[in-house]
Structure 1
């Protein structure tokens, strides 16, 4: 078991080499074999020692969690994942675009921040891009809501500027030296959100493109004949079908992905519990938050739009996904496997 006390040592303990092979699914996912395990673990160890001071600072100032609590996740998941992404970038010899799909509470943002930190120590210029950054402007979404009153919240297919996303990724792939990246501030307009000042980035090597439906593809409309809850009424079914149709507009964006990782809860309904926990924590600290009923309406809305059982479950069994990370009820990671 990895802990802070052994990081001071020059070499990894032998048990870390044995542990790397014990989890056969994870070993296969990260290309670890009996032949290369010692070299892989030594390389990972040196990288851990190199990044750990910056990792501790990130935990304290941005993630607000004690570094030793998530040290095992750093060792067993984030470090090998960053090393794998770096290796894939080297193989294609051009900017690499990594898609990361995950719902509420699966750790997309944390994962991207830590992977970026690790990649920076490997001297890769990394851009973290969220599908939220591609939202249409507040005014454009007001017009959209007038056209389709069902779009009561931002987030479903149709509320993003897909062409903007395609242009950004294409500019990166064309190795443009200066690229303007939109950023979204969800606090503007009383929480409805709007575009903030854009960010200018230079010569990007790797993009971590994350979002709650990044990489999802339209399903057969027959799936909505007997859909799962909370898709109940004919209006619910029509909304789900329309969102499914809207997904076609995003396929040109997903085509730019070189790889897709899915952060998959053991049970999709955990997202509802995690959202409640987050809101309860906010209210306990004196900040405003939603009631449990409001949270349920909010989460159900997105399940009606793109239900995880219809869109995520079949996706992770397909060749379109390269790596699946199972997320446990306590937010730790479980199985890690490749297709």
Structure 2
């Protein structure tokens, strides 16, 4: 099992060996475009265990709900991804239902092209009470750091008028609902990129896949959109890579997504 799937499989096997009668909840982090979703799918397909995999991305708030946040918090909060743009309550309820065997369990699907959640009739049905539950996301386990509010903006997004309120709101979310979500995990596995500079290349490749075109055919305007989009994630991605996160297994990934 090549690449990132091998260490992820070993992580899952070790967690199952420690588990009692309750299916363990395992959180997997990694920067945008690093390949964690692909690795998770590979592990689920090849594992002898009954595994359920989900993505934090599927639990984004709806477009309408984020539009409300743009008015009550800051216009930047309408962009999906940062803390506060997920339906943490729904995710927590879903984890409990899966772990306790409450059937049927349906999981939302977020359509990134329309930037909105699909109707409930299109949600995925998952088997309840699997052997283990895996949830992957770019910021799984990141810790709040209110002292960061005293530091200057990292990029043009953070330099937007009034953006300090947006940054404070994220820290409050991390200290509240997301901290409670991290508490649900039995273990964390962190896939570490060499640095933030790799994220733009990886995320641009991912965007081409999302759009169904070759990387060379991705319009320049869309590449600019990706560059602006990941700026919303830069501070917390760097924080994750610095180790300001929940403890867990750490896997170093190279610029070509090879595992060190």
Shift of the 286–314 alpha-carbon distance from structure 1 to 2, 3 Å rule, reads closer
- 2:32 is the counterpart of 1:104: yes
- 2:6 is the counterpart of 1:79: yes
For residue 277 of structure 1, report the CA deviation from its aligned partner.
4.3
For residue 158 of structure 1, report the CA deviation from its aligned partner.
1.5
Q: TM-score, normalised by structure 2?
A: 0.83
What is the CA deviation profile of residues 258-278 of structure 1, one whole-angstrom value per residue up to 9, with x for unaligned ones?
A: 111111111122101223345
SS in 1 for 2:42: helix
Q: Which residue of 1 aligns with 2:59?
A: 134
Query: Retained in 2: the 8 A contact 1:102–1:263?
Result: yes
Q: Which residue of 2 aligns with 1:50?
A: none
Superposition map of 1:173-212 within 5 A? 173-187=99-113, 191-196=114-119, 197-202=122-127, 203-212=129-138
Query: Retained in 1: the 8 A contact 2:109–2:118?
Result: yes
Shift of the 140–225 alpha-carbon distance from structure 1 to 2, 3 Å rule, reads closer
For residue 138 of structure 1, report the CA deviation from its aligned partner.
2.8
Give 5+ residue unaligned stretches, structure 2: none
Q: Which of the numbers 288, 291, 294 marks the counterpart of 2:225?
A: 294
- Say how many residue pairs are matched: 249
Q: CA RMSD of the aligned region, Å? A: 2.6
Superposition map of 1:1-339 within 5 A? 72-73=2-3, 78-93=5-20, 94-119=22-47, 122=48, 124-147=49-72, 148-187=74-113, 191-196=114-119, 197-202=122-127, 203-219=129-145, 221-227=146-152, 229-230=154-155, 231-232=158-159, 235-247=162-174, 248-279=176-207, 282=213, 286=217, 290-303=221-234, 306-315=235-244, 320-334=246-260
Shift of the 155–278 alpha-carbon distance from structure 1 to 2, 3 Å rule, reads closer
What is the CA deviation profile of residues 5-54 of structure 1, one whole-angstrom value per residue up to 9, with x for unaligned ones?
A: xxxxxxxxxxxxxxxxxxxxxxxxxxxxxxxxxxxxxxxxxxxxxxxxxx
For residue 228 of structure 1, report the CA deviation from its aligned partner.
6.5
For residue 83 of structure 1, report the CA deviation from its aligned partner.
3.9
Query: Retained in 2: the 8 A contact 1:95–1:175?
Result: no
**Whole-Å Cα distance in 2 between the matches of residues 159 and 141 of structure 1?**
7
Higher relative contact order, structure no. (Cα contacts within 8 Å, ≥ 6 residues apart) = 2
Shift of the 326–79 alpha-carbon distance from structure 1 to 2, 3 Å rule, reads closer
For residue 195 of structure 1, report the CA deviation from its aligned partner.
2.7
What is the CA deviation profile of residues 65-92 of structure 1, one whole-angstrom value per residue up to 9, with x for unaligned ones?
A: xxxxxx542xxx5335324413422432
**Whole-Å Cα distance in 2 between the matches of residues 333 and 96 of structure 1?**
25
Between Structure 1 and Structure 2, the one with more helix by share is 1
Q: TM-score, normalised by structure 1?
A: 0.66
**Whole-Å Cα distance in 2 between the matches of residues 143 and 308 of structure 1?**
26
SS in 2 for 1:99: strand
**Whole-Å Cα distance in 2 between the matches of residues 312 and 80 of structure 1?**
18
Give 5+ residue unaligned stretches, structure 1: 1-70, 335-339
Between 1:99-108 and 1:281-290, the stretch displaced more is: 281-290
For residue 112 of structure 1, report the CA deviation from its aligned partner.
0.7
